[in-house]
Amino acid sequence: NYDQEQLWKEAGQFLQLYHRELGLEDQLEARLQTVRHDIEKTGTYEHTYEELAYGAKVAWRNSNRCIGRLFWERMEVIDARSVTNSEEVFAQLIEHIRYAGNGGKIKPLITIFAPANNDHQPVKIWNHQLMRYAGYETENGIVGDPASVTFTKQCQKLGWTGKGTAFDLLPLVIQDGHGKPEWMEIPNNIVIEVPINHPTEDIFAGHDVKWYGVPIISDMRLEIGGLNYVAAPFNGWYMGTEIGARNLADENRYNLLPLVAEQLGLNTKHLNTLWKDRALVELNVAVLESFKQAGVSIVDHHTATKQFAVFEKQEQKLGRTVTGKWAWLIPPLSPATTHIFHKPYDNSIQKPNYFYSTNKVL
């Protein structure tokens, strides 16, 4: 039927890429026959661990919005396809957080749970990232991360209660095959958090500001050869601007620029004093220095840009086209100081790749 024909087409394309890139052409025919037979007999097929691991890495290499792609081959892959019930899933997620954090020397890692297929509901992770701070609506404004207000309410509906501070770690929430969502606190001995301070100025007027060390995206779908891995949390390390120029700076996030500017003694009465720009730079200096002080991996946007340039050259040498989304690849701070700003990028979508779960092709 159509689905099986479509799946066979995607599977064939991926298996050709896999065998060609790894110099295994002589095994391609046999593998195609096995997969063709499995799809005809069962409506689906299974990736070997090597196909799964390479597919996850190529999906990163194809992520048009990612500036960090130089290290695509270095990601570690945990095969959790046999893990289906919720307490095993929680244990696997805790292990991901612990192993990837690696005492601060962060390891890029992906944990891949069973793919969606017709006869059983796959595990679904409700978190956007495994670690993120809660957001509470109170009568005098939002406490915590405004981006988390909706998810925080969902967690409270499931029975979770937070302390009510601006930096409460949210629980893990998963829905296994039986459909009932369950939540579980992350044990705080495995959570790496970095207190943010400026090296010379008291930019937060004594308020405690911190951020979690390891960004682990848990709401994207990994598509490899026509199979959809809807639960496949992956992490790298942060680029400083994500925290310093967006999460702590955006007006609809922690909105800390006015406070920082005040503390720096800047004139915030007029926009043309560029107080926002000066506050931004000092906030980003604070983030980078604080992570370095804490021994937690992070990259500044200039170094990340240089690494991306090496990635582009390397791909060119290997005869592959680098696709990218310009508006995402330029950093939000000093974008025109990067080579990325001054050239166009082809935003064609290649596969394997990571997609938003919402536009899942059912």
Ligand X SMILES: N/C(=N/c1cccc(CO[C@@H]2CCNC2)c1)c1cccs1
What does the binding site for ligand X look like in residue numbers (CB under 6 A)? 215, 217, 234-236, 238-239, 242
215 binds, among ligand X, ligand HEM, none (CB under 5 to 8 A by kind): ligand X
309 binds, among ligand HEM, ligand X, none (CB under 5 to 8 A by kind): none
Which residues, at least 6 apart from 23, have a Cβ–Cβ distance to it below 8 Å? none
DSSP symbols for 25-93: GGGHHHHHHHHHHHHHHHS-----HHHHHHHHHHHHHT-TT-S-GGGGGG-EEEEETT--SHHHHHHHH
- Closest residue by Cα to residue 159 from 185, 188, 129, 178: 185
110 binds, among ligand HEM, ligand X, none (CB under 5 to 8 A by kind): ligand HEM
Q: Which of 36, 71, 121, 357 binds ligand HEM (CB under 6 A)?
A: 71
Question: Any contact of residue 66 with ligand HEM (CB under 6 A)?
Answer: yes
Q: Which of 66, 182, 275, 282 is catalytic?
A: 66
354 binds, among ligand HEM, ligand X, none (CB under 5 to 8 A by kind): ligand HEM
Q: Which of 11, 283, 304, 330 binds ligand HEM (CB under 6 A)?
A: 304
The burial class, CB within 10 Å (0-12 / 13-18 / 19+), for 48 is exposed
Q: Give yes or no: 242 in active site.
A: yes
- Closest residue by Cα to residue 228 from 91, 99, 114: 114
CB of 36 to ligand HEM, least distance (A): 29
Q: Give yes or no: 237 in active site.
A: yes
Amino acid at 261: A
Residues 218-247 that bind ligand HEM (CB under 6 A): 234, 236-237, 239, 242
- Closest residue by Cα to residue 116 from 177, 174, 57: 177
Q: Give yes or no: 66 in active site.
A: yes
Residues 314-333 that bind ligand HEM (CB under 6 A): 328
Q: In terms of CB distance, is 7 or 248 closer to ligand X? A: 248
Which residues are bridge partners to 184 per DSSP?
A: 172
Q: Which residues bind ligand HEM (CB under 6 A)?
A: 60, 63, 65-68, 71, 75, 108, 110, 234, 236-237, 239, 242, 299, 304, 328, 354
